[in-house]
Chains A and B, each alone.
Chain A
Amino acid sequence: MTKPLTLFEKVWNAHVVAQEPEQPAILYVDLHLLHEVTSPQAFSGLRARNLKVRRRENSFATIDHSIPTTSPNITGGDQLAARQMEQLENNCRDFGIRLYGVNSPQRGIVHVIGPELGLTQPGMTIVCGDSHTSTHGAFGALAFGIGTSEVEHVLATQCLLQRKPKTFQVRVEGTLKTGVTAKDIILALLSRIGIGGGTGHVFEYTGSTIRALSMEERMTICNMSIEGGARAGMIAPDETTFQYIAGKEFAPKGASWLVHLNRWRSLPTDAGAVYDSSVTIDANALTPMITYGTNPGMGISVTEPVPDPAHVVDSLDRSALEKSLRYMALKPGEKLIGKRIDVVFIGSCTNSRISDLRLAASVINGRKVAPNVRALVVPGSQAVKRQAEAEGLDRIFKQAGAEWRESGCSMCIAMNGDQLEPGQYAVSTSNRNFEGRQGKGGRTFLASPLTAAAAAVTGTITDVRTLLND
């Protein structure tokens, strides 16, 4: 009898090219995604060693991090950003890599367009010089972020040296209540295990709640696996996955589709397979979540008070909490509900897909953005933008007084001019609330698109359920 294997182990085993005793495995990479910020030095390295790209058809590039969202061709005089974008164009031309560039209708945030184009498929190994590559794990791929040196390794050899990580089952059971979304599941997990809780592991999300989620919701969850320290998060492919992929530009077609489907059906974790760790989350008990601190593990239910450092025993943990509250200018025990905010950002590779925009629009429709709030809606890709406009979502946002933008990373990372001013509070659907992440001195509350939209129309942190019951 063969040993029962997890989804992760099956994908891993199928990609080990070679492994010498005691040494890391040589792992084959099926799909390599590139963007302008983490690739220039990798291409310079190739040039310095006089190396070519080994398998050009496995690499795809886009421009997302520093691209302006007002109009893609106006860099606002940012010469550095312009040079970086131009360099990616030159590198892709010189090395023969397909680029979805500034004027491409298929351009968008790298983790939004991969799935959208059908590039992301079950059982693949996928890497990108970007930690949120974990997003693609929603399809049952092993997808993880790498550094720039490793980008160079993949370009040159289509392989990476990797130690095998451990497995960590995150089982989510039950039914989500109204107003509670995939984002709340992942924020709840992070608040439970902390931002280092998954270090050295690959998450596999299992359970009835996960099975009931759409692909876009699954992507939201896998996206933030890295926020728990896990480089990758995976979900076994099922009919929902196959339906999503079918017919996409790069999806297998005809007879090849059936061959792939057969293989994909063999990927889910075998009965009796063992994980190194596991945790269970009761979806029935979840409420809308929000972060109060300066890392994504500092989350609470939106109705709960901010924790009090006085109750923290470990001195380093206590000073971390104190430091966070000082940065956020929050008092221990303070309630967040009713707190005035300045900016709402709906976007990023976590929550900028069409279903996210629909959720936000459902709250904003017929209401106005509060006068004290600047609301920015940034679709994840040009395709999402077109779809939203076809559905009239852009009009809902614009009529309410929100800004409707071109696609890009935008205020998630504040490299393109979209940023918070020092001291401003934002409710953001992105994934990181680190100090200064959305602009120097800016303060971020992470939440779902529903909670962000609720904050936009009330001007304060709000329990979105009170608006949904209207």
Chain B
Amino acid sequence: MNHFPEFASRIAPLLVNDIDTDQIIPARFLKVTDKAGLGASLFADWRFQPDGSPKAEFVLNQPQHRGAGILLAGNNFGCGSSREHAPWALVGYGFRAVISTSFADIFKNNALKNALLPITVDTSVHRKLSELVLNEPSVELSVDLESQTFRMPDGGTVRFPIDGFAKSCLLNGTDDLGYLLRFEKQIEEYETMRFGSGV
């Protein structure tokens, strides 16, 4: 069974470079002890007025982009803090993929562990996608992890890189911890080698 089947979705363009995790989810929302509910605070300071009402000009508040499952962001998305609350908030809001020209390392790792696809494209594809969605906000992109491609509305497909291990975890519905636990014996041997037995 494919746990990450192909999906099609509209795109929310947030064409800002270097979006840091403090913008994705400000620190004051980190005082939680579970993962649920963070979607409500996604991009809180860009999305809401001080009184809590939505800022009309922010992309996620525009009717044509509501419900989009793909975020199109500027370069170097997810820099800054290691907070996994960032992908939790994006997924909680309903995003399934983020497209950028590059991702910060920790964010990318965290995203893949939460079934949020970090899709890296080159600048020309990025420009094309930006123009496309700005001209036609209702455009849908079809993303297929198995073939590592997304289909443009004009029928062209674009291939994207993804870590092979993370990909198989997503497709098979397994995770890192399950894999790591299989190496119990090797870990024990390593510890004996380093610290001796019976320590």
Interface set of A (CB-CB < 8 Å, partner B): 17-18, 22-24, 26, 28, 37-38, 40-41, 44-45, 49, 54-55, 65-66, 78, 80-81, 83-84, 87, 129-131, 145-150, 152-153, 156-159, 161, 163, 165, 195-196, 199-200, 226, 229, 231, 295, 316-317, 319-320, 323, 413-415, 422, 432, 434-437, 440-441
Contact = CB atoms under 8 A, between A and B. Distances in A.
Nearest to A431: B80
Given A17-B190, A199-B102, A231-B105, A145 B22 contact: no
B18 A38 contact: no
Contacts of B35: 41
A438 to B, nearest CB: 10
Contact of A149 (B17, B20, B176, B187): B176
A405 B125 CA distance: 51
Contacts of A157: 177, 180-181, 183-184, 187
B32 interface: yes
Given A199-B105, A323-B16, A415-B31, 15 more contacts: A26-B186, A28-B191, A145-B106, A149-B84, A149-B177, A157-B180, A159-B187, A165-B105, A316-B17, A415-B27, A432-B22, A432-B80, A434-B20, A436-B26, A437-B22
Given A229-B104, A231-B106, A18 B183 contact: yes
Interface of B: 15-18, 20, 22-23, 26-28, 30-35, 45, 50, 74-76, 79-84, 102-106, 109-110, 113-114, 163-165, 175-177, 179-181, 183-184, 186-187, 190-191, 194
Given A37-B31, A130-B82, A196 B18 contact: yes
B82 A129 contact: yes
A295 B109 contact: no
A191 to B, nearest CB: 14
A158 B26 CA distance: 30
A233 to B, nearest CB: 13
B54 to A, nearest CB: 16
Contacts of A81: 31
Contacts of B81: 130-131, 145, 432
A229 B75 CA distance: 13
Nearest to B26: A436
Contacts of A200: 105
Residue in B79, B110, B163, B187 with the greatest tally of chain A CB atoms within 10 Å: B79
Contact of B28 (A319, A415, A441): A415
Contact of B82 (A38, A44, A437): A38
A54 B32 CA distance: 25
B27 A437 contact: yes
Contacts of A231: 105-106
Given A316-B17, A434-B22, A161 B180 contact: yes
A81 B165 CA distance: 36
A147 B102 contact: no
Given A38-B83, A295-B20, A414-B27, A320 B74 contact: yes
Nearest to B86: A147
7 contacts: A38-B30, A80-B31, A84-B31, A147-B113, A158-B187, A161-B180, A195-B18
Contacts of A159: 180, 183, 187
Contacts of B45: 435-436, 440-441
Contacts of A17: 183, 186-187, 190
A28 B187 contact: yes
Contacts of B190: 17, 28
Nearest to A419: B28
Contacts of B28: 414-415, 440
Given A156-B181, A229-B105, A434 B80 contact: yes
A441 B45 CA distance: 9
B179 A161 contact: yes
Contacts of A28: 187, 190-191, 194
A66 B31 CA distance: 8
Contact of B26 (A131, A295, A316, A440): A440
B23 A131 contact: no
Contacts of A23: 164-165
A260 B190 CA distance: 18
Contact of B106 (A40, A49, A131, A152): A131
The 10 closest A-B pairs by CB, nearest first: A80-B31, A147-B84, A145-B82, A147-B110, A196-B76, A40-B33, A131-B82, A148-B84, A320-B17, A434-B22
Given A17-B186, A199-B102, A149 B82 contact: no
